[in-house]
Amino acid sequence: MKTTTGKKSAQKKTVPAKSAPAKAEVPLQEIRAMAKALGIPSFGKSKRTLIQAIQRTEGNFDCYGTAATGYCDQTGCCWHADCLDESAKPSK
């Protein structure tokens, strides 16, 4: 028979790991400003094309919007959440 002393046993509470919040869709105006800061001309370019140019200039994969399967292992990418949303859109 187990006796208690009136004290609660110390139990470790598991706290779910916090992940970085998904960044909302980045406005095109902000993307154009980023491109300009990197010396990338932005006139007449689509959002996808501009982001891919930014990725290349920064030395990253230029894969924005190409996750056809809905999976991307580049979880540290600042475009990750927006990219997956873009990839889920039907092709024009």
Report the distance separating Cα 10 and Cα 71, nearest Å: 40
Q: What percent of the chain has pLDDT over 90?
A: 45
Query: Domain boundaries in the chain?
Result: 28-88
Q: What is the mean pLDDT of residues 35-64?
A: 94
The per-residue pLDDT for 26 is 84
Specify the amino acid at residue 69.
T
Specify the amino acid at residue 16.
P
pLDDT digits (tens, 9 = 90+) for 42-56: 999 999 999 999 999
Decide if 73 contacts 61 (C-beta within 8 A): no
Q: What percent of the chain has pLDDT over 70?
A: 72
Q: What is the mean pLDDT of residues 2-25?
A: 48
